[in-house]
Structure 1
Amino acid sequence: MTFILRFLQVLIAASSLNFFALAFSIADCTSSGTILCTKPCSDTFILCSGMRTGTEMNTAPGTVCDNGVLVWPNSCTIAASSSPTISSTTNLTSTSILPQTPIADTLPETKYFTMNITQKIINTDGVDKLMLVANNQLDYTIEVNKGDQVIVRVNNQLNVSTSIHWHGMYQVDTPWMDGAGMVTQCLIKSGGSMVYNFSTSDQVGTYWWHAHYASQYTDGLRGPFIVHDPQDPYTSQYDEEIIMTVTDFFHKNASTVLEEYLGRRCNCAVCTQIKLLTFLTTDRVRVINTSAQANFDISIDNHTLTMIEQDGIYTNPTVISSFKIATAQRYSFIVTANSTVGNFWIRAIMMDMYTPTGTEITNGLNFETLAIWRYQGAPEKLPTSVQEDDKPLDPYTLGELNGLTPSTLPNWDTYIYFQYLVGTANMITVQSDTTNFYANQYFMPMAVPDLETALQGSQLHESSNPFPLNNSWVLLQIRNWDNIEHLFHLHGHSFYVLQHGKLLHRRDRRGYGFSNTLLTYPRRDSVVVPMCTGGAGGGGEAGCTAGYVNILIHFNHPGVWLFHCHVEWHMATGLAMTFVNEEGMDKVRKTIPKDWFDTCQTM
């Protein structure tokens, strides 16, 4: 059984912006149980848990909870079937509930979905905002199985163009389905439609879909994309699944925030929600950070977490007390309700990425987002639990299950040095034996998508920051001279994280390098680069010591693949480059639909 657990954490906004923080919802369907609810920041947002299958409840909008008895503010229908569907309006996320334990011999199928992209006024925290939604809701969730063919028809009913990126999917044999606007496809114009058709192939795990044009995903155009594994090695260790998204929430639209992102001010407040637990139930919690910028530190008081997945890759089971999750990253952990019956805080502590950059925070932004983890039989009161964070996750040592080891590490063909400057215009410098550019700003192509240019045998424009290569292993060192962490994401691939640290602290960390002490190397598609700190010239950016991370990428299928900072305001202002794998392009020329780029002519 799967249900949705959402944190919506308000972050940062431009000057003259007033807004609030946390809203979060749960929709949980079980075969028996009672309904609990709580009244958060506004009367239009409630929680229900333990709803009986086959129950239908409808009351007038605007009603609220009363002494723990549900008075439903919006319609909620639970279909009585073996795979019930939660159907809701504003705040309960709709999802199909797949079997807890997939059958081992499940055969791949073709799964069809339709996403109608519209606008909707949503109030998650006491403030109305016109948001972009799929099928009339936030966090529209797609769940499929390993090997399935996924066909999604996107109908754009907005008054602007859009595109949809399938974050973390490799798109082997279908590089035109990556979804990056004007990189691998034409934009889906207003009133137009596009059919995405791709295979999940051998991939499994936790992913997400989001708009990849004009910062639209920060206005709500995003949702979980889950690929279930019939041979999940951890299936026997948990009873049910929870999908939890953590995100920032802006009261101004993304284009306005982008224009003003150097002059930010924030008014914030928080409220709490509840999840009902059965004693000794064990959950797999899939956590997705869909933020424009925010990083969070996640923990559950008095409970240990066993990490089993990162970015769609099974990990060595690792027991921890908390973990940090940056924008675009995903984790799965297993947690068991084996503590004393009571109430416990679920904490999502937002990391302060704003004070170091001169952001003005007003009205006491509370960085600690809270929810309640409530056991059945516990009194309905706030927790008094205390966080004991004695074993935080080190993400740079969370190795892949049965993954690459120091003894099996392959030789790389190419070494790339990559660094960047952050400001109103973000610029990158790349040095290698074959391709070099200095302080270049990325610009999205305006007329011809980069993939079309590459398929025509032409060179990409220098504003795409192109790096051509043929199937090869690439060691990429990313150096961070900024005084905050940055998260970099690679389209169409995962990579191995070999080493991280501070430059020039030790001779063996000046350039090439990898740790030889790990059991296996971490593998993922989105990595945090440590911030620049200290140094002979003082703290911060003045003479600081750069942070770095070394990643090893196996480019083994053709296409045009973006590599960019996933802080949305940095991506939108040029912090990106494009890898062009030319080997195998002849096959792409033969298999790509002949009319794939035709709509670019009508834009």
Structure 2
Amino acid sequence: MKNYFAFLAFVQVALGAAVATVKDVTIDVVNAQLAPDGFSRSTVTANGQYPGPPILVNKGQPLRITMNNKLTDPTMRRSTSLNLDGIFFGSQDVFEEAEPFVNACPVGPNATFVYNVPLGEQTGTFWYHSELSVQYVDGFRGPLIIYDPADPHSTLYDVDDVNTIIQVGDWWQSSTLPLLDNYVATGVVPVSDSGTVNGIGRFQGGPEVPWAVINVQKGRRYRFRIINESARNVFTLSIDNHDMTVIAANGVNTQPLTVQKMDMLAGQRYDVVVAANQAVGNYWFNAPFVGGNPAVNPHQNATLSRAIFRYAGAAKVDPTTPMTLGPADGALVEADLLPLVPTKVLTPDVSMTFNLVVTTGKAQWNINGVSYLSPQTPTLEKVIDGATQAADFNVTENTFILPANKTVEIIFPPTDDDDAHPFHLHGMTMQVIKSMTSNNTNTVNPISRDVVGVGGSGTTIRFKTDSTGPFMFHCHIFWHKFAGLASVQLVDPVDTPKNVQVTPAWEGLCPAYDALPQELQ
């Protein structure tokens, strides 16, 4: 027995060492000629793929990403910046957040930057993308999954692997620079040509590109990790004849909730369990989308945004049922989601109201009358150099100075329309005290997430300022973010320089970027 316990202790130590082993990932940001929807164009990609290769790690496993910028195409931005959407950096590591001109400067062409990412206790479904301007529209986006060996939902599914990651995204056949030029000239947000599922789509009048296929085996239950990697579009997802049971939202476990369809805003993620309990055959995975007036772009046909949900043993043919927009009923209501583990509702110490307004006919959005404009010197660098109060920042930096270890409440008043702006908070999760999907306020057991829809009947969120430093809070419709729909939540600028531990590599980013000619930035 003594030997048994000694062996057990050895195994536990060995397992702990295995979990602690650094996960090394290399991302070469390169231009590649790709045709996700059958139209060939030059793209900006991670390792030549759209979407980029999956980054798969275990809970508590340190992650190190070496990003090599090898961009050469002059028709698109040649600098870049990697963002890990939904991953939270603490006070010491806030510089690794790498939000351009907030936490760091971009990485120029022919340069390398190493991101050291202590994942802490986070688990769930996340994604990565370029955070520079609207560059990820050109293709630089992919999944990041943190597996939990002690997942509390593990009894609900049989399969959870790289093949159960589902990525939906909007796709443009033009590169971002001319799209931005037209947006600035007209104020009309670009409308995508197509929608893609796992990197494959079709457009009206285009070639019949073979559909993406989601393979299942009858009798098994699948945990699908669904990510909306779009820069604008809202996708409505469903699977013909199959229910979906939501078990997580944006990396936070929820009480199981069964639905027939769900709307996903840009940047949102849902984990769902689907039982392969129907007759062996082919079924449509429906992913229609909305995102601007389709008349602006004759290529757009939302019903062509889909994939095949195929059982093992079924013929490799298209489903014989009609291509629909999905069921009429059974939609997910965000306000119905409840946390798996109840958390204490935060009592606000600071309360703010954010009014969102667009300037008609211009590519300009603002929060409380201010349209965000990136400064030349990153916010964090200014703070390290002694900036501590509002007067130390340009008005257009829209910087809100907050105390540490307090609860901040932000109220988004009701609007005249039901359009949802997916607001994303870097660095912290938000308790959704009032969802725009309900008139009710939940001060008992609200869900927490890092992307929430604001608009319609109004939204109220609360978050705890656990980490010091600057954190971006912006609309995840990146065209709107480009047009100023963003702010910086700066937590405790006095103590930030004492807490953050920047590296020489980080300190070298801005001088290197500033020395680049404009065409390489």
Q: Does TM, normalized by the shorter one, top 0.5?
A: yes
CA drift at 1:366: 3.5
Alignment partner, residue 24 of structure 1: none
The CA deviation string for residues 471-528 of structure 1, in whole angstroms up to 9 with x for no partner, is 210111123647422111011111110113499xxxxx7xxx8325x6x211100011
1:523 aligns with 2:467: no
1:465 aligns with 2:398: yes
CA drift at 1:158: 1.4
Alignment partner, residue 253 of structure 2: 314
Gaps of 5+ in 2: 1-14, 73-77, 194-202, 515-521
Asked which structure has the greater RCO (Cα within 8 Å, sep 6+), the reply is: 2
Structure whose residues are more often strand by fraction: 1
What SS does the aligned partner of 1:255 have? helix
Q: Rate the CA distance shift 1:136–1:521 in 2: closer, same or farther, 3 A.
A: same
Structure whose residues are more often helix by fraction: 2
After superposing the two structures, state which structure 1 stretch, 367-376 or 556-565, moved more: 367-376
CA drift at 1:368: 4.8
Q: 1:552 aligns with which of 454, 458, 462?
A: 462
Q: 1:474 aligns with which of 396, 408, 417?
A: 408
Alpha-carbon distance in 2 for matches of 1:325, 1:108: 34
Matches within 5 A, 1:70-89: none
CA drift at 1:557: 0.6
Opposite residue 254 of structure 2, the aligned amino acid is T
CA drift at 1:364: 6.3
Do 2:282 and 2:318's aligned partners in 1 also have CA atoms closer than 8 Å? yes
What SS does the aligned partner of 1:467 have? strand
1:497 aligns with 2:422: no
Alpha-carbon distance in 2 for matches of 1:444, 1:347: 38
Do 1:177 and 1:198's aligned partners in 2 also have CA atoms closer than 8 Å? yes
Alignment partner, residue 169 of structure 2: 247
What SS does the aligned partner of 1:563 have? strand
Opposite residue 456 of structure 1, the aligned amino acid is D
Alignment partner, residue 28 of structure 1: none
Matches within 5 A, 1:389-404: 389-404=328-343
Alignment partner, residue 41 of structure 2: 129
- For this pair of structures, how many residues does the alignment match? 460
Opposite residue 99 of structure 2, the aligned amino acid is A
What SS does the aligned partner of 1:107 have? helix
CA drift at 1:563: 0.5
1:167 aligns with 2:85: yes
Do 1:280 and 1:336's aligned partners in 2 also have CA atoms closer than 8 Å? yes
Alpha-carbon distance in 2 for matches of 1:178, 1:257: 27
Q: Rate the CA distance shift 1:363–1:577 in 2: closer, same or farther, 3 A.
A: closer
Alignment partner, residue 104 of structure 2: 185
1:382 aligns with 2:325: no
CA drift at 1:599: 3.0
CA drift at 1:381: 4.0
Opposite residue 212 of structure 1, the aligned amino acid is E
Alpha-carbon distance in 2 for matches of 1:143, 1:379: 32
The CA deviation string for residues 130-154 of structure 1, in whole angstroms up to 9 with x for no partner, is 0011122222211111111111111
Q: Rate the CA distance shift 1:280–1:442 in 2: closer, same or farther, 3 A.
A: same
RMSD: 2.4
Alpha-carbon distance in 2 for matches of 1:140, 1:482: 41
The CA deviation string for residues 329-369 of structure 1, in whole angstroms up to 9 with x for no partner, is 11110111111222211101112x323xx952426624452
Q: Rate the CA distance shift 1:276–1:206 in 2: closer, same or farther, 3 A.
A: closer
Opposite residue 231 of structure 1, the aligned amino acid is A
1:566 aligns with 2:476: yes
Q: 2:141 aligns with which of 222, 225, 233?
A: 222
Do 1:418 and 1:428's aligned partners in 2 also have CA atoms closer than 8 Å? no
Q: Rate the CA distance shift 1:482–1:132 in 2: closer, same or farther, 3 A.
A: farther
Do 2:250 and 2:269's aligned partners in 1 also have CA atoms closer than 8 Å? yes
Gaps of 5+ in 1: 1-102, 431-438, 504-508, 532-546
1:601 aligns with 2:519: no
After superposing the two structures, state which structure 1 stretch, 196-205 or 365-374, moved more: 365-374
Do 2:170 and 2:192's aligned partners in 1 also have CA atoms closer than 8 Å? no
Do 1:215 and 1:255's aligned partners in 2 also have CA atoms closer than 8 Å? no
Alpha-carbon distance in 1 for matches of 2:437, 2:269: 25
The CA deviation string for residues 9-38 of structure 1, in whole angstroms up to 9 with x for no partner, is xxxxxxxxxxxxxxxxxxxxxxxxxxxxxx
Opposite residue 515 of structure 1, the aligned amino acid is N
CA drift at 1:595: 5.2
Alpha-carbon distance in 1 for matches of 2:301, 2:338: 35
Alpha-carbon distance in 2 for matches of 1:495, 1:339: 38
Q: What TM-score, normalized by structure 1, do the two folds share?
A: 0.72
Alpha-carbon distance in 2 for matches of 1:152, 1:266: 30
Q: Rate the CA distance shift 1:501–1:527 in 2: closer, same or farther, 3 A.
A: closer
What SS does the aligned partner of 1:183 have? coil
Q: 1:444 aligns with which of 366, 374, 390?
A: 374
Q: Rate the CA distance shift 1:429–1:213 in 2: closer, same or farther, 3 A.
A: closer
Do 2:433 and 2:460's aligned partners in 1 also have CA atoms closer than 8 Å? yes
Q: Rate the CA distance shift 1:243–1:482 in 2: closer, same or farther, 3 A.
A: farther
1:257 aligns with 2:179: yes
The CA deviation string for residues 537-571 of structure 1, in whole angstroms up to 9 with x for no partner, is xxxxxxxxxx3100011111111001111111110
Alpha-carbon distance in 2 for matches of 1:266, 1:402: 39
Do 1:302 and 1:385's aligned partners in 2 also have CA atoms closer than 8 Å? no
What SS does the aligned partner of 2:305 have? strand
CA drift at 1:378: 3.0
Q: Aligned residues: percent identity?
A: 28
CA drift at 1:396: 2.2
Alpha-carbon distance in 2 for matches of 1:396, 1:196: 36
Opposite residue 141 of structure 1, the aligned amino acid is P
